[in-house]
A and B are shown apart, each in its own frame.
Chain A
Amino acid sequence: MSLLAPWFLAGLGLLALPVYLHLLRRSRPDSKHFSSLMFFEPGRQAELRRRRLDYLALLAARLLLLAFLIFAFAQPVIRSRAVSAAAGAARLVVVDVSASMGCCGRMDRARGIASELLTPEARLAAFDSRLRLLDRGELSRLAPGPAANSFSELARALRAWQQEQKRPVEVHLVSDFQRSALPAGFAGLELPESIALRIHPVAEGAEPNWTVESVRAPARVRQAREARVQAVVAGFHTPEARLTAVLRVAGKDVARQSVLVPPEGRATAAFEGFDLAYGFNECSVRLEPADKLRADDEFLFAIERTDPLPLAFTGDRRAETYIRNALEAAAGGAFSLVSGLPLPQARALIAAGGLPQEAEAVSAVRRGMGLLLILAAEDAARGRVPVTGWKTRGTRYAARAAEGWFSAQRVDPTSPLIGKALGWSGVRFYQVVAVEPGEARVLAALDDGTPLLVEHSLGDGAVLVLASPLDGVANDFPLHPAFVPFIEQAARRLAGWEDAAAAMMAGETFAPAAGPGARSFEVLDPRSRRVLGFEESSRGAAVELDQTGFWRVLAGAGRERRIAVNVDRRESDLAPAEKEDLDLWAKAAAAAGQGSGGPPPARPLAMWLLGAALAAAVVEMALAAHYLGKEAA
């Protein structure tokens, strides 16, 4: 038995209080006047007898009451194997399957240790960035994954799992205990007393390791040889070495470059002038010769070679001029604005003042085409907005207002259409068609709530509605600096040319935006298995990127994204954590003991002592009442 708060034992001094009350305070008997004491002598015998402990039972009850309370505050706990066995502690063997376990036979050693720890009642679990319970038979098939491990995440998962078990847990952790996996502080590693942690390191030291740490490459290019790729090669605990970086495109090594990596340093390899085919090019930069951890020797990335995306235009010529110039200025030819382009060939349609082929446009939008509607006075006269069917409430003219113009007062800066367009600050609107957008997302509005820019989802397509004409009269927007980024972002949004991550790390989660305006898509893993469907993506479901390779994200109208998933580079530093740090964690986490070799879990006794104190209090009250009644009589 041990005490968690032994300093409360100082309160035992309080036990002197009832002794004092019984011995000293009660030692003076009642007094009485008498005519003369000439025939009396001091009754020493009586005095001594008086000083005997009166009311021994009452005194005992009071002493017990105080003692129980003091010991309860001291929080005694019993640590014994009998308690552990009685409590039926569950054993969990956790094996690290992060990428670094692929080095130097660590995984083989981990499987061997785990097989010894797996008693018949024990459970098996694997962990990297998350904890997964496995069948015992899967131990032999355990292999290093691409993800990085995180001990703080493991501690959180263990706490949650222990709460489900509702009994003490004995956790054996088999890992290489990478230093990079430990959090900065131990607060995140805290485990409850009911979890006994025992660590089993399998790393023998800081193995040298080189890796392609990162690659900078454009996500999209239009010309075959315009791409430039820059790779950073890093060494951890390494001497100076000359390595070869190999650029591989579409399954073929297209370039090689020798790099001199300084001791525990970094070097850069650059590639350019290589050919790229139309469409997605799956690329990688690989190091030669390979080292002990092969998983991080290659870095995957994808480059898409495309022609300018065709955008159809219909409507006012002045507006067409403004938009064409803005697209050429901002997107560098990524988009081509074609007046009268058939809709099936267009990635998006921009309609300024009227939409003659509304039914065809609605159909195309539902199939995934984007549409930018720039309303004109005629739309207000018709009383409805094309495609969306929203009602209009006439036109508002700024001349009737006090300032002489309107401005965007209520804006949503989280939208790139606003945030990257200077927040539409300073743009003057003189004429605005008042629309009722219903549940659609209003990105910008006047001070009185009249919408200026509304985003709406229709089928697989998106619709943007600008409620002020781009005729050079209704506003000064085309002449304002905010106009160019606005048109560029609108084109990207409607054409599906959004910034795609060139590469992501294994273990990360790909989470599409949900809600109105979000498009549905499906996700295929590197083995072309569908892991997320259209319906799930429209609800905002996420996908964990648990495999390295090229993942495909397919949207409507033939649009596609390619995501390269690489081994988490936090795994590249193979240095294990300091032994002192691990011991500290084990001690901090194992207040109740660690595994079969450590102290067993503790059983607190405070509640029992409080119960005993309550019983002593009841006895004390009964005895006190008895003696008081006697004295009163």
Chain B
Amino acid sequence: MQQRFLDPQILAGIANLELTAKTVVEGFISGLHRSPDFGFSQEFAEYRPYVPGDDLRYVDWNVYARAGRLYLKRFRGETNTRVTLMLDRSASMGFRGRGLRKIDYARFLAASLGYLAHQQRDAVGLIAFDEEVRDYVEPSSRHGQWLKVLHSIDRAEPGGRTDYKRPFWHFQQFLRRRGIVLVVSDFFAAARDVVATVAPLRQHGNDVVLLHVLDPEEVEPELESSRVLIDLETGEEMEVSPAYAAGPYREKIRRHLEELETLAQSAGLDYFRTLTSEPLDAALRRYLAVREGRP
């Protein structure tokens, strides 16, 4: 039986990030049977009458059959859509529990999403950040832009502490046009602080998606015996018992996830959570389902 989903561990064996993104996206597309209703800017906006010179691919032939006139389907952001990938490269993203490192999974995810946008000739940009903006590629549709984005994604290695305020303030300084902002992070910060920091982007008319990447170990840690846990970002040490990890911790992280999702949705932010153990194409499918408002 043909394997349906692509194991992240297998994808990690592919050294070329572009190849990984193509593998994920094209496999994913073939799985969807090439639906016309996908992508970042495929949100239907209105019909307009056909004028000579328009691309016949966008003619709605159903309307033509019913009305006998040629109309073109218009999509929101069909033109000049800017996709900005914000990739968290803080030290906590270097955690590796039961599968890939979170940073690796996040890079695959960002590359795949960027590849999707690139295929639609959207302007794709990147901001890699921790407590500072470490790498910035301004969104553009120019030739070679995609490779620049890929190289930046590829260079992103974990380091530094997480602080959303300064990178997002910095991002707002460069934000000239509205677009789609994809924030790929583990969001290990207070949910209110995260949403409060990101929400202004939405208020400026951007379409903001929070892509929450977590390791299964972070959601449901399993300790056989008491362990001293060392914080990857602060170096703080703390002895944790198995009982606490199995009980109070899971309850706390669950509340945190719920709070983050709730606050994000209430702030008009899309929220999408995935685990590093989840196949990338499956994650993409679920992401697009979320984007289209389908369960």
A interface with B by C-beta (< 8 Å): 28-43, 45-47, 49-50
Contacts and interface: CB of A to CB of B under 8 A. Distances in A.
16 contacts: A28-B228, A30-B225, A31-B228, A33-B95, A33-B230, A33-B232, A35-B102, A35-B186, A35-B232, A35-B233, A36-B188, A36-B232, A36-B233, A37-B238, A46-B242, A49-B241
Majority secondary structure, A binding face: loop
A36 B188 CA distance: 7
A46 B240 contact: yes
Contact of B226 (A36, A38, A41, A50): A50
A28 B102 CA distance: 29
A39 B249 contact: yes
Interface string B177-192: 0000000001011000
Contacts of A30: 225, 227-228
A42 B226 CA distance: 11
B13 interface: no
B226 A43 contact: yes
Contacts of A28: 228
A599 B40 CA distance: 105
B237 interface: yes
B37 interface: no
B219 to A, nearest CB: 11
Given A43-B240, A45-B243, A46-B241, A31 B226 contact: no
A49 B239 CA distance: 12
Given A35-B218, A40-B244, A47 B226 contact: yes
A40 B228 CA distance: 11
Interface of B: 92-95, 102, 186, 188-189, 215, 218, 221, 225-234, 236-244, 248-249, 252-253, 256
Q: Which 5 A-B pairs have the closest CB atoms?
A: A46-B241, A43-B241, A35-B95, A35-B92, A36-B188
B92 A29 contact: no
A35 B240 contact: no
A47 B218 CA distance: 22
Contacts of B221: 34
A31 B229 contact: yes
A49 B241 CA distance: 10
Given A31-B237, A43-B241, A38 B232 contact: no
Contact of A36 (B92, B228, B241, B242): B92
Contacts of B236: 37
Contacts of A29: 225-228, 239
Contacts of A35: 92-95, 102, 186, 188, 215, 218, 231-233
B238 A42 contact: yes
Nearest to A34: B229
A41 B241 CA distance: 10
Contact of B239 (A33, A36, A39, A47): A47
Nearest to B225: A29
A529 B243 CA distance: 106
Given A43-B244, A46-B240, A32 B229 contact: yes
A442 B193 CA distance: 123
A33 B232 CA distance: 6
B249 A32 contact: no
Contacts of B232: 33-36
B211 to A, nearest CB: 16
A30 B228 CA distance: 6
Given A34-B231, A35-B92, A40 B240 contact: yes
Contacts of B225: 29-30
Contact of B238 (A40, A45, A49, A50): A40
Given A36-B232, A37-B238, A31 B244 contact: no
Contacts of B95: 33-35
A45 B241 contact: yes
A45 B241 CA distance: 8
A50 B240 CA distance: 11
A498 B231 CA distance: 110
Identify which of B93, B225, B244 gathers the most chain A CB atoms within 10 Å of its CB.
B244
B246 to A, nearest CB: 12
A258 B121 CA distance: 157
Given A43-B243, A46-B240, 18 more contacts: A29-B225, A29-B227, A29-B228, A30-B228, A31-B230, A32-B228, A32-B230, A33-B95, A33-B232, A34-B232, A35-B92, A35-B93, A35-B186, A35-B233, A36-B233, A40-B240, A43-B238, A50-B226
Contacts of A50: 226, 239
B241 A37 contact: no
A218 to B, nearest CB: 107
A34 B239 contact: no
Nearest to B186: A35
B252 A39 contact: yes
Contacts of B230: 31-34
Contacts of A46: 226, 239-244
A558 B240 CA distance: 115
Contacts of A36: 92, 186, 188, 231-233
B248 to A, nearest CB: 7
A31 B227 CA distance: 5
A41 B227 contact: no
Contact of B256 (A37, A39, A49): A39
Contacts of A40: 229, 238, 240, 244, 249
A38 B94 CA distance: 16
Nearest to A29: B226
Contact of B253 (A39, A41, A42, A47): A39
Contacts of B233: 35-36
Contacts of A34: 95, 218, 221, 229-232
A501 B230 CA distance: 103
Contacts of A31: 227-230, 237
A41 B248 contact: yes
Given A29-B239, A46-B241, A37 B229 contact: yes
Contact of A32 (B93, B186, B227): B227
A536 B44 CA distance: 144
Contacts of B243: 43, 45-46
Identify which of A36, A39, A46 gathers the most chain B CB atoms within 10 Å of its CB.
A36
Nearest to B254: A39
A37 B95 CA distance: 12
A182 B46 CA distance: 135
A165 B189 CA distance: 90
Contacts of B186: 35-36
Identify which of B215, B231, B243, B256 gathers the most chain A CB atoms within 10 Å of its CB.
B231
